[in-house]
Chain A
């Protein structure tokens, strides 16, 4: 006779608000209301899903996540439950599989993800899905990250029993300015439909036709033109929705993904940059439930072309004679020349403009440089836009909080500098990472009137064209660094490619200039990496106390209270 333990596991779990679930023969505890699919995935028993997405409502339409499930038999009236040695009731298994995405766990539930029944169910589902699938993987952009490919490799059968003619549907349909649809590849999971309805709030996609002629399509007169339309490409488990931008550019297995953050607005959307051999091919959002959930806006996603554009400045450019054009030079010669020119400058007649698009490390080094030069007229260029009520923040600078913390500036002094330039009290200028003719409000004449203009930037623009010396900096994909977003979260930028050409990280340029100008502060000139700059900053700035490169992690860390929230995240929290 078995002797159950004194405290039954069900009571122990209930005290924590949890339930006991047996998965593949082992017992685990999960909070009440956990979906079976999530429960299984969290303990390493993988459940394949097409239609289920944790951020969307449950559809349960693909049937891919079928698992074998069992519960204790219902007690006959008047009997006492017979607990086993381990304190659990015996499980009687259901003769048919259930879908893991739409059901939640319950006390003493049993789940098998590797049983014969499950395997057969999965193979059957895959066979049906593949009966009309065009099998054009060689030309499909999704190949390599396609769920259908993966599951077919894992669970599918190697042969095709379907000899009838396949259903013909539309291929290569343009359903929006940035997205292409291939109805034949579609497995009708309706993730895209749910995304557009629930997250993007632009209900343009739906399923048309009947039976085997079911297909995704836009409602008449509409098209998929939301600023979040490309997220359907990410969530599409197969190659039905493909990005027009990435179409036929590169197979995904050649690409290396680097986790980093977006620098187009103050939100600091978490992204992956996909590169191959110094070339950036695409950007996809990276899940961070505190910043961007799983999504990102299209205009930010597509704003990477300048990284490999021919307008990149790859060598230092100098004007050696007055009136002559810029010509390429070496770093050493340019540094020597710049240092000589900077020594001749009067600090009172000099202004520095840096950018809140720079990382904290770079801003720290800019501050060191300004101290070394004795320049007090220093500010950033503010950028304001409209908050789209989703992810795009009204602050279009990604590191305004960092600039405020390190330099104590928010762009208020910019007008003063502009006035100084116009009334000729400022004759020398150092500009880092900004095109003054754009948001800063300078005109080309203002710049031409300057006696000396030193510019650090990565691409050609009106300001670099007017400059006496241009030092090539790098884009966000080529450097390490940290930024503080609008909610006060410090996040890391990672280097996806090496600096293009001879270009050099801005913090390194500033450090080298300070050193050559005679800076003897070891904390500035001895910094070998951005990580050690961060360590130096952690000692100086109160919000950064205890922060190291490693402790930030891939999801960032909140270091200050700003009171700003991200609307999409707030909505997601409210839903729960």
Chain B
């Protein structure tokens, strides 16, 4: 048998007339309404919030302190402890990005940089935040631990151009990460 027969409930005549069931339903929604207005909605004590219902009054009350470790916010670029730009512009994040938010123009490493062995560094690194879907695949694909998803979730723009974050902005937002990537120093 390729199908499963679902057992349908038997309805009495009263159920079929629907009026009683309708009134029951209306009673349920009315109970919710009254409890909301009284500020006694179920589950409210879990949120230490004011006001109607179990909603958090967003700009006034925020969830920030309770964001989990694995929260996926805006992607950023990070520097190592030694101040080295970790990104070597291998373009794997650009390749994996399902929304095509990342655009990298590869280039030679800055001649004044402290790691000439790395040879390659992005000349331009842009993430279009209007395209980004915060999936975290860039972070997963990165072989250099250079791109991380921050906890920044509030990205407000007044202009489409603002949505494109350049390399400087991304490094500023990402800051420095602990843990040495020994790949490009003399020990290798």
Q: Do chains A and B touch in the complex (CB under 8 A)?
A: yes
Q: Which residues of A contact B (CB under 8 A)?
A: 134-139, 143, 165-166, 171-172, 248-251, 253-254
Residues from chain B with a CB closer than 8 A to the CB of A251 are 90-91, 95, 106
User: Does any Cβ of A come within 8 Å of B40's Cβ?
Assistant: no
Bound Cα distance A136, B106 (Å): 15
Contact B88–A139 (Cβ < 8 Å): yes
Contact B106 A250 (CB under 8 A): yes
CB of A135, distance to nearest CB on chain B (Å):
8
Q: How long is the Cα–Cα vector from A254 to B102 in the complex, in angstroms?
A: 13
Given that A138-B144, A253-B95 are contacting pairs, would A143 and B90 also be in contact in the complex, using a CB cutoff of 8 Å? yes
Chain B residues whose C-beta falls within 8 Å of the C-beta of A136 in the assembled complex: 119, 183
Chain B residues packing against A (C-beta within 8 Å): 88-92, 94-95, 106-108, 117-120, 143-144, 183, 187-188
Given A139-B88, A143-B90, is A134 in contact with B120 using a C-beta cutoff of 8 Å?
no
Indicate if the CB atoms of B90 and A138 lie closer than 8 Å.
Answer: yes
Distance in Å from the Cβ of B143 to the closest Cβ of chain A?
5
Q: Using A139-B88, A171-B117 as known contacts, say yes or no to A248 and B107 having CB atoms under 8 A apart.
A: yes
List residues of chain B with CB within 8 A of the CB of A139: 88-90, 118-120
Is the CB–CB distance between A134 and B188 below 8 Å?
yes
Question: With A248-B106, A250-B106 as given contacts, are A138 and B188 in contact (CB-CB < 8 Å)?
Answer: no
| Chain A residues within 8 Å of B144, by CB | 138
* CB<8 Å pairs between A and B, sample of 29: A134-B188, A135-B183, A137-B90, A137-B143, A138-B92, A138-B120, A138-B143, A138-B144, A139-B88, A139-B89, A139-B90, A139-B119, A139-B120, A143-B90, A165-B187, A171-B119, A172-B119, A248-B106, A248-B107, A248-B119, A248-B120, A249-B106, A251-B90, A251-B91, A251-B95, A251-B106, A254-B91, A254-B94, A254-B95
Q: Which chain B residue lies CB-closest to A134? A: B188
Main secondary structure of the interface of A (DSSP, over half): loop
Q: A498 to B88, alpha carbons, bound, how many Å?
A: 31
Specify the chain A residue showing the minimal Cβ separation from B146.
A138
Asked whether, in the complex, the Cβ of A248 is within 8 Å of the Cβ of B188, the reply is: no
Specify which chain A residues have a CB less than 8 angstroms from the CB of B94 in the assembled complex: 254
Sample of 17 further A-B pairs with CB below 8 A, known A251-B90, A251-B95, A254-B95 = A136-B119, A137-B90, A137-B143, A138-B88, A138-B120, A138-B143, A138-B144, A139-B88, A139-B89, A139-B118, A166-B188, A171-B117, A172-B119, A248-B107, A248-B119, A248-B120, A254-B94
Q: How far is the CA of A249 from the CA of B143 in the complex (A)?
A: 19
